[in-house]
């Protein structure tokens, strides 16, 4: 099995530079991850590279929902509603630990986006198109019932509500589990490796020069086919081409803010109208709730879109108008800004541009995928890999397997896990309790790691047997075990990788990051066996990450 350990980086680099691949995927967000898994499962020899951490772009900055596609109904995108509805079911089946159905409340207010009639009609059409299963059909509430479902709603103007199902996910972890599954099946994957130049043979792209962003070294990687899956960076990468095309993307920015539930004590996820006729979410998560999203055209740094004072005051105003609360910017604990890579359509407002994906082929043969959603990643990958296979089989006689990712259980999905998740939960809960973990901690681990939780338990057991005495002995055992697992099994290179994309703590548990960040940096430096200066770099980078989310 290929390694996905940060410690094995030199060995992985030797492997990716030492032979020719069928496919080089540039970009390790959910789009590139899905393509790598699909192509590997069909029998192609694949390498996947990202210039930052995996999911370091939009794929860790979404609303974290596997949508059924309700909002596309407003844009009359019936085909898209049908596709994402079916995809939601597939993702749930293949990664039950990372996708959980949850009731979403759609309040109906006077002069809102929906009245009772249009909301019910919309729901029926949506549930029919998306193939929503009967036990998850919507429920209609009167004003009193709506207020009981979410007591924080302001009562005036409320005429009723609808409860329907959305599926929650952890976008970054979903991306990682797809990559882990791809690596298990043969993909070579590496982060912090930036494509800086293309290599050509007879005017056709046959590889790329990759720069190691950790030390500046350059490497050449050769492949029969190259895919540009760089999300918001699609045009930037395309610009490296000798004959680059016109720009394909329109970038819009979306911001989410995290508030402590003591200040915003919502019981229930709510999808509600804004004063400027948009709709946004408030979603409770543990002791926090997050609000989002904005949707504004964006030009600026793609790596650090940033949260502006205007973004904050817009979202706070939306919530203060709709709920009995009086939030101020001092109540914001954390947040994130993400960029939507939308396919360019002139003359449309940010919220009107379609979320559909499109595949392009450049003059030199590079396959480019633009647009799309987290939810539709698998189908997007299927379309791209069909093109890759077509290209390769036009050039040499070879047979590849058909697409099987609808039945490919992702890492952490585990066969028994997928078959009976509640039984699996019970088993892992009782084992976690014997290791001295608290119920809430175990629940979080089950949803974060799925069937891979056993590997965490084994690390924890080894600590319980060993005699304490190292410098970082004060780090809670659970945090330490997760750091070790992230480095050895999930190619975690820096504390920000760990606190943002491996665990989401920077967003939803910033107190722990502030309390243990320095110790975590020291532990990571020791495990990675690097020079002393690394700890200073880690500390500075983590400090910057903490500042950025405020
Ligand atoms: P990215 O995740 O950005 O990945 C591209 C990767 O390419 C990056 O990691 C980057 O580092 C890498 N890269 C760039 N240039 C290079 C290079 N030269 N060399 C190597 N690597 C490179 N969808 C849903 O289904 N549900 C939601 O709830 C949802 N909410 C959203 C909310 C917001 C605010 C936003 C912005 C989007 C949301 N989406 C949602 C859409 C979804 O998040 C995106 O469609 C998806 O994450 C895009 O993934 P991607 O892999 O195409 O891009």
Domain containing residue 529: CATH number:
1.10.8.870
- 457 and 534 both lie in a single domain: yes
Q: What's the whole-number average pLDDT of the chain? A: 92
- 159 and 122 both lie in a single domain: yes
CA atoms of 493 and 462, how far apart (whole Å):
23
DSSP 179-219: HHHHHHTT-EEESSEEEEEEEEETTEEEEEEEEETTT--EE
Question: Can you give the CATH number for the domain in which 359 is found?
Answer: 3.50.50.60
Which ligand 1 atom is nearest residue 376's CA? 25
How many domains are contained in the chain?
3
Read off the pLDDT of each residue in 451-469 and give the average, rounded to a whole number: 84
- 137 and 163 both lie in a single domain: yes
Q: Phi-psi region for residue 323, left (φ > 0), alpha (ψ -120 to 50) or beta?
A: beta
- 149 and 266 both lie in a single domain: yes
Read off the pLDDT of each residue in 106-128 and give the average, rounded to a whole number: 87
Give the residue whose CA is nearest to atom 12 of ligand 1: 27
Peptide bond just before 434 cis, omega within 30 deg: no
- 455 and 504 both lie in a single domain: yes
pLDDT confidence of residue 244: 73
* C-beta 160 within 6 A of ligand 1: no
Q: Are 472 and 535 in contact (CB under 8 A)?
A: no
Give the residue whose CA is nearest to atom 8 of ligand 1: 57
Question: Is position 348 within any domain?
Answer: no
Read off the pLDDT of each residue in 535-545 and give the average, rounded to a whole number: 89
Question: Is position 65 within any domain?
Answer: no
- 181 and 51 both lie in a single domain: yes
- 225 and 264 both lie in a single domain: no
- 316 and 255 both lie in a single domain: yes
Question: Is position 63 within any domain?
Answer: no
Question: Can you give the CATH number for the domain in which 307 is found?
Answer: 3.30.9.10
pTM given for the model:
0.96
End residue of a domain, out of 343, 377, 397: 343
Percent of the chain with pLDDT over 90: 76
Question: Is position 388 within any domain?
Answer: yes
* C-beta 510 within 6 A of ligand 1: no
Question: Is position 128 within any domain?
Answer: yes
pLDDT digits (tens, 9 = 90+) for 302-348: 998 999 999 999 999 999 999 999 999 999 999 999 999 888 765 56
* C-beta 32 within 6 A of ligand 1: yes
* C-beta 80 within 6 A of ligand 1: no
DSSP 466-492: SPP-STTTTS-HHHHHHHHHHHHHS--
- 283 and 432 both lie in a single domain: no
Read off the pLDDT of each residue in 411-437 and give the average, rounded to a whole number: 88
* C-beta 67 within 6 A of ligand 1: yes
Question: Is position 70 within any domain?
Answer: no
pLDDT exceeds 90 at position 507: yes
pLDDT exceeds 70 at position 126: yes
- 37 and 141 both lie in a single domain: no
pLDDT exceeds 90 at position 247: no
Question: Is position 502 within any domain?
Answer: yes
Q: Phi-psi region for residue 179, left (φ > 0), alpha (ψ -120 to 50) or beta?
A: alpha
pLDDT confidence of residue 372: 87
Distance from residue 173's CA to the centre of ligand 1 (Å): 13
Among 135-144, 192-201, 448-457, 466-475, the range scoring the smallest mean pLDDT is 466-475
- Tokens of residue 493, six digits: 């290179």
End residue of a domain, out of 364, 383, 407: 407
CA atoms of 143 and 148, how far apart (whole Å):
9
- 143 and 288 both lie in a single domain: yes
Is residue 368 classed as helix, strand or coil in its secondary structure? strand
Give the residue whose CA is nearest to atom 39 of ligand 1: 62
- 180 and 165 both lie in a single domain: no
Percent of the chain with pLDDT over 70: 95
Give the residue whose CA is nearest to atom 32 of ligand 1: 62
Which ligand 1 atom is nearest residue 49's CA? 20
pLDDT confidence of residue 352: 58
525: Cβ–Cβ under 8 A, 6 or more apart, which residues?
532, 534, 535, 538
Domain containing 435 equals 418-549
Pocket mutation for ligand 1, best pick of 196, 314, 374, 381 (most atoms within 8 Å of C-beta): 374
* C-beta 254 within 6 A of ligand 1: yes
pLDDT confidence of residue 270: 97
């Amino acid at each position: 099995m290929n390694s996905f350990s940060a410690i094995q980086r030199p060995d992985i680099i030797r492997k990716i530079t030492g032979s020719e691949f069928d496919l080089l995927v540039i970009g390790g967000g959910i789009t590139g991850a899905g393509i790598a898994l699909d192509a590997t499962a069909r029998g192609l020899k694949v390498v996947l590279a990202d210039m930052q951490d995996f999911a370091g772009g939009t794929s860790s900055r979404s609303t974290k929902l596997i949508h059924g596609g309700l909002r596309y109904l407003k844009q009359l995108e019936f085909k898209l509603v049908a596709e994402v509805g079916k995809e939601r079911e597939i993702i749930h089946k293949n990664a039950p630990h990372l996708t959980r159905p949850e009731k979403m409340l759609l309040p109906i207010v006077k002069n809102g986006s929906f009245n009772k009639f249009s909301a019910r009609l919309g729901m029926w059409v949506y549930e029919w198109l998306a193939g929503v299963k009967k036990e998850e059909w919507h429920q209609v509430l009167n004003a009193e019932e709506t207020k009981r479902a979410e007591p924080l709603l302001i009562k005036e103007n409320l005429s009723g509500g609808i409860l329907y199902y959305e599926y929650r996910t952890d976008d970054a972890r979903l991306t990682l589990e797809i990559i882990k599954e791809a690596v298990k099946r043969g993909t070579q994957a590496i982060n912090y490796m930036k494509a800086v130049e293309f290599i050509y043979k007879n005017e056709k792209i046959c590889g790329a020069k990759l720069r190691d962003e950790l030390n500046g070294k350059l490497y050449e990687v050769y492949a029969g086919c190259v895919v540009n899956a760089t999300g918001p960076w699609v045009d930037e990468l395309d610009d490296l081409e000798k004959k680059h095309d016109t720009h394909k993307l329109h970038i819009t920015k979306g911001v989410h803010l995290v508030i402590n539930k003591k200040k915003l004590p919502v019981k229930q996820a709510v999808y509600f109208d804004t004063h400027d006729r948009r709709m946004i979410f408030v979603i409770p998560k543990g002791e926090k709730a997050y609000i989002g999203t904005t949707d504004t055209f964006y030009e600026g740094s793609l790596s650090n879109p940033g949260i502006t004072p205007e973004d904050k005051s817009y979202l706070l105003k939306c919530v203060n108008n709709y709920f009995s609360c009086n939030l101020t910017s001092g109540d914001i604990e954390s947040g994130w800004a993400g960029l939507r890579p939308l396919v360019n359509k002139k003359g449309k407002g940010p919220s009107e541009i379609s979320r559909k994906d499109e595949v392009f082929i450049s003059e030199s043969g590079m396959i480019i995928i633009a647009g799309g959603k987290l939810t539709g990643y698998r189908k997007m990958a299927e379309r791209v890999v069909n093109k890759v296979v077509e290209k390769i089989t036009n050039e040499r006689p070879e047979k590849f397997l058909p697409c099987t990712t609808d039945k490919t259980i992702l890492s952490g999905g585990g066969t028994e896990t997928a078959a009976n998740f509640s039984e699996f939960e019970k088993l892992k809960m009782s084992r976690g309790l014997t290791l001295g973990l608290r119920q809430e901690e175990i629940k979080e681990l089950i949803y974060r790691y799925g069937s891979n939780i056993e590997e965490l338990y084994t690390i924890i057991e080894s600590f319980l047997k060993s005699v304490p005495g190292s410098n970082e002995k004060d780090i809670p055992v659970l945090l330490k075990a997760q750091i070790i697992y992230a480095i050895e099994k999930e190619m975690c290179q820096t504390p920000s990788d760990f606190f943002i994309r491996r665990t989401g703590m920077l967003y939803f548990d910033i107190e722990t990051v502030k309390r243990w960040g320095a110790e975590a940096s020291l532990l990571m430096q020791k495990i990675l066996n690097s020079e002393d200066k690394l700890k200073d770099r880690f500390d500075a980078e983590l400090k910057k990450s903490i500042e950025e989310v405020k």
